[in-house]
Structure 1
Amino acid sequence: MNRSVLNVTYAVGFFALAAGLLVARANPATAYEPSLFTATPTAVWVGFGIALAIALVTALACRGRQQAIGIALGATTVTAIVSLPLIRNYRFAGMGDALTHLGWTRDIVSGNLQPHELFYPGLHSLASVLHFVAGIPIERALLLTVVVLFVPFLVFVPLVVRDISGNGLAVGVAAIVSWMVLPINNIATHMGVHTNSNALFLVPVVLFAFVAYLHRRSTVERLPLGLSPFSALLYLTGIALLLVHPQQMINVVVLVGTVAGVQYLARWRYSDHPMLDHPTAYTHTIVLGVIFAAWALTNERFQSALSGMATGMLSADISGGQTVDQRGASLTEIGGSLGELFVRMFLDAAVIGLLVALFVLVMWLGWTKVDRETSAFVTYFAIALFPLGGIFLLYFVGTPTMAFRQIGFIYVVLTILAGVAIAQAIGGLSRYFTMPGANTVAAVALGACLVLGLGTVYASPLIFSPNQHVTDQQYSGYETSFDHGVDDQPYAGLGYDPYRYDHGIYGLEREAPLTSAGTASGEVDPDEFEAGNYTGAYRGSDYYFAVTEYDVTREIEVYQELHHSEDALSDVSQQPGVNKVVSNEEFELYAVESTNATDGATV
């Protein structure tokens, strides 16, 4: 492409991106949004779409500096999409673990908790620094931290592939696949304040340091005690990953240990192989393992997690298969199916995974023209997937949620391998078409996968999971309720336990709970609630019943009254023994007298 035309094309792309950002910023969220995607103005998506289309084509067709500009355009656009809760002025995002992380950050800021007292203080410490340095609210600092930790994923995936293969097309493909954000599955990994998921985006940084070490040919550059600069970088990035979340550090140790094992076998089996020229990873496996053990094994939270997994593996009541069956039955009741959900959430990931698997198989059979050096690195990562997959199976039997977290890490590795695999496929297509023709086919296919990937980067009704948007009204509603509620009266939610808001508003480290939501909370019993027994729907005692716009959207619109009906909810305030005590546009709190308190009367 003519350089002048290319420059104009890039200008159009960056202008479209800037226009999208300006429109998004000019249209902040004013109420709860069930879907971030549909609530964001169409003009924003038009601008982002133009930018991504230009970035995708140039990442495939260009090389050198021009390709780098295209990759930068695409990475910036994807970062903008991930930043939409921040750009559109969300009060906060995340109603589960995210609120607990908000509470811990609040504790660090207030001095009630020291960072080293947390098992994974990286996210919270960085947010605290941003809060103090920039003077922004803690909630906003956490949302900004999510973006800061996400960016390395987009930067280092193509860098790792460049170091592995040196193929410009593979670098461009790897960049595009990274824009799909495949490690996020919205089952156990989420785009938001979720330390396990946030740690996934730092893994390519550690792998880049590791690949750089393996590529080192000279022994001249040494630090004191003979330590390689790349080894030091690997240890430092590993420690950073450990502080964000130790589970992903375990996976890195397994991957590095697998590479060490492959190197040992190669030295025993071959007399001439590229692996023999790579420095060994034996010491790095031991050092990284010791760093993890020193941090984790003495931690009570880690011990309880191990105990829970062991219990799950030995118990017939806990299994991934049962979880899948239950979800499938629920989806059928609301008119969906596991097949439909799979297509929406995992089709792009399945396609990428299948392409990588086929490529590795064909490469091992010797049917490709991959050079021996690249083949060695692909073999390292591919063989590492076997023990990583074994860990997934253990999790699936014991704690299914952890299994889907493991899939997140596996897809970090697959994202890297996909760059090499798809580049080889495009090269193969070029023998039947021209190279521009092969790039066109690849651009269409990758573009479709990119739309699927970015369309599920945040939860939405599309995947039967509404956006976890915390609005000012919801936050202030819970805050008012906790501040003025009776101390020993528990709180119950509509399919949601309010204790997370207690964490987010007041923190977790205090001498005694400030509200009863910190010690006594739960959900109303769906059967009793639907039967009209509102006064007896929660543990047979007086309680506060909290309901938000998020709850109503989830239960009525998304779950289609599977557990709670609109009629039952609308009847609550009309019943004896039920009084509305707090109300705003998106939050209502009812004081409910128990059946015993109303002389055994039921509704």
Structure 2
Amino acid sequence: MNRTASNLTFALGFFALAAGVVLARANPATSYESSIYTGTPTTVWLCFAVALGLSVVAAVAARGRSQTLGIVLGATTVTSIVSLPVLRNYRFSGMGDALTHLGWTGDIVDGLLSPHELIYPGVHSLGATLHLLGGIPVERALLLTIVVLFVPFLIFVPLTVREMTGSPAAVGVAAIVSWMVLPINNVATHMGIHSNSNALFLVPVVIFALVAYLRRRSTTERLPFGISPYSVLIYLSGIALLVVHPQQMINVVVLVGAIAGIQFLARWRFSDHPMVDQPTTYAHTIVLGTLFAVWTVSNERFRSAGVGLAEGVLTADVGASAEVDQRGASLTEIGGSIQELFVTMFLDAAIVGVVAALFVLVTWLGWTSLDREAASFVTYLAIALIPLGGIFLVYFVGTPTMAFRQVGFIYVLLTILGAIGIAHVIGGLSRVITRPGANAVASVGLAALLVLGLMTVYASPLIYNPSQHVTDEQFSGYESGLEHGADGYSHAAIGYDPFRYDHALHGLEGEETLSGATAATGEADPDELAAGNYTGAYHGLDYYLIVTEYDLTREIEVYQELHYSEQSLEGLGSDPAVDKVISNDEFEMYAVVSEDDDE
């Protein structure tokens, strides 16, 4: 393609991207959206599809300036997709930990909480900074924080692959695989205000610094006292990761420690090998491990998590297998299946993981074109997966949620290894057919995997998990309900404990916990509601029953009345013991007087 045609092509791509962003901004969400995918106008997705299609082809087939423009176009488009809650003017997104994080951020802004009092203050501090500097609401500042922390992932995955291999083909594929956002699994890692997930997107920065430190041994790049600038980057990025979430920091310590162990064995076994010539990571392992220990061991929440993990490991009926069985049974009841859900959520990740595994194998057999130093980097990451996988197994037995968080970290490494492996597959295919033919096949295949990846970046009914979009009406309803409720009345919701909204609206005033409300709250008993016994649905006490549009969508449309029926909720309006006290388009609250009070 000549320069003029290339310029016109990229002009079209960037115009399509800009048009998509403008159209998304011009069509804000006006009510609760169960799916940001269906809520966003189709024309927006068509514009993004054009931009991504051109960027995939350029990243695979082009080189030099054109490949760089293609990567920039694709990365910007994916960032725009991740930014849709901001572009479409969501009040907030996230109804679990995210609401508590919102409360902590508000406490920091109000001076009720110092950042260092939290074990992971990174997200909250950045959100508070954006709020104070930009003059924007705290909720919007946190939504922007998601985007700010996400961008390094798109930048440093291809940079790391370039540093490892020096191959433009691998760099282009790495960019595309990073756009799939494989570390997000929507089981325990999420695209939202979720510190553990947000920390995953900083991990490639540390890996890039590690690879650059190992590869670049020239004294011309040294700081005073012979310090490598990449050592400084390792420490600074490690500290940033630590304050965003320590769990991902300990994984980095394991990674760096594994590299140090491999280097030690290489020096004992070989006299002529790139690993022997590379600078060691012994000091980095000690420094990063010490930082982690000092920061976390004295923290009560960290100690409690450790005790909980140990109890889970020693308890036979706790584990991820039991949780999978339970969810599989629930899916069957509503017409779904684990197999169907796996294909939707994990097929792209499974393919990339298999390619990564096979690529490591053929690298060790010496069947790739990698030079010895590039192969050593592959070995470092591959062997580090062994202890990281061991941690996953411990979590799998003891704390299922933590196991899927560990999978998120593992997929940061598999994104890098899988991308290099796919690039080698394309190279091999080009020798069987032709280079243009191989590029065409690769572009179609990667585009299909990219669609799979992007369609599950956010939760939606497609994966039986409706969007946790928080509207103005929901905030307003909870604010009125929590502030003006009568003494002695608890607040109950269907399938969801509303204490998180209390955190979001009133803060936690320094409490370091993701459990335990500052108001009396809970969940209404589904069996009692189904029987029409509204007065006995909450421990026989006087209570307020809260029903939001999110609750109805989740329980009636997505879960197909698995726990709560539409008929049982319709009876609220005619029961003499029930009074509707707050109502808007997204929120209803009923005052329910117990049977004892009726008597």
Same fold (TM over 0.5): yes
Give, in whole Å, the separation in 1 of the partners of 2:140 and 2:295.
Answer: 29
Q: How many Å apart are 1:518 and its aligned residue? A: 2.2
Matched AA of 1:201: F
Question: Which residue in 1 is equivalent to 2:75?
Answer: 75
Question: Which residue in 1 is equivalent to 2:135?
Answer: 135
Question: Which residue in 2 is equivalent to 1:452?
Answer: 452
**Matching of residues 34-433 of structure 1 within 5 Å:** 34-433=34-433
Aligned length, in residue pairs: 596
The C-alpha deviation readout for 1:332-370, integer Å capped at 9, x for no partner, is 000000000000000000000001111111111222222
Q: How many Å apart are 1:225 and its aligned residue? A: 4.4
**Matching of residues 455-494 of structure 1 within 5 Å:** 455-494=455-494
Q: Which moved more, 1:229-238 or 1:83-92?
A: 229-238
1:466/1:558 contact within 8 Å kept: yes
Q: Which moved more, 1:138-147 or 1:589-598?
A: 589-598
Give, in whole Å, the separation in 2 of the partners of 1:228 and 1:160.
Answer: 17
The C-alpha deviation readout for 1:463-504, integer Å capped at 9, x for no partner, is 000000000000100001011102332111010000000000
Matched AA of 2:138: I
Question: Which residue in 2 is equivalent to 1:574?
Answer: 574
Give, in whole Å, the separation in 2 of the partners of 1:351 and 1:508.
Answer: 43
Residues 191 and 277 (structure 1), Cα distance of their counterparts in 2 relative to 1, 3 Å cut: same
3-state SS of the aligned residue for 2:431? coil
2:547/2:588 contact within 8 Å kept: yes
Matched AA of 1:540: G
Give the TM-score normalised by structure 2: 0.98
Matched AA of 1:99: L
Give, in whole Å, the separation in 2 of the partners of 1:309 and 1:226.
Answer: 42
The C-alpha deviation readout for 1:361-393, integer Å capped at 9, x for no partner, is 111122222221111100100111111111011
Q: How many Å apart are 1:510 and its aligned residue? A: 6.7
Q: How many Å apart are 1:519 and its aligned residue? A: 3.7
2:104/2:510 contact within 8 Å kept: no
Matched AA of 2:334: I
The C-alpha deviation readout for 1:498-517, integer Å capped at 9, x for no partner, is 00000001100179xxxx96
Unpaired runs of at least 5, structure 1: none
Q: How many Å apart are 1:302 and its aligned residue? A: 0.5
Q: How many Å apart are 1:228 and its aligned residue? A: 2.1
The C-alpha deviation readout for 1:78-119, integer Å capped at 9, x for no partner, is 000000000000000000000000000000000000011111
Give, in whole Å, the separation in 2 of the partners of 1:227 and 1:345.
Answer: 44
Give, in whole Å, the separation in 1 of the partners of 2:385 and 2:338.
Answer: 26
3-state SS of the aligned residue for 1:259? helix
Give, in whole Å, the separation in 2 of the partners of 1:244 and 1:219.
Answer: 33
Give the TM-score normalised by structure 1: 0.97
**Identity between Structure 1 and Structure 2 (%):** 69
Give the CA RMSD over aligned residues: 1.3
Matched AA of 1:137: P
**Matching of residues 531-550 of structure 1 within 5 Å:** 531-550=531-550
Matched AA of 1:91: R
Give, in whole Å, the separation in 2 of the partners of 1:592 and 1:179.
Answer: 49
Give, in whole Å, the separation in 2 of the partners of 1:479 and 1:221.
Answer: 56
The C-alpha deviation readout for 1:284-310, integer Å capped at 9, x for no partner, is 101000010010010111101111101
1:491/1:517 contact within 8 Å kept: no
Unpaired runs of at least 5, structure 2: none
The C-alpha deviation readout for 1:165-221, integer Å capped at 9, x for no partner, is 000000000000000000000010000100000000000111111111111212354
Give, in whole Å, the separation in 1 of the partners of 2:444 and 2:153.
Answer: 23
The C-alpha deviation readout for 1:23-59, integer Å capped at 9, x for no partner, is 1000000000000000100000000000000000000
Matched AA of 1:244: V
The C-alpha deviation readout for 1:564-588, integer Å capped at 9, x for no partner, is 0000011112112111100001100
1:173/1:418 contact within 8 Å kept: no
1:490/1:517 contact within 8 Å kept: no
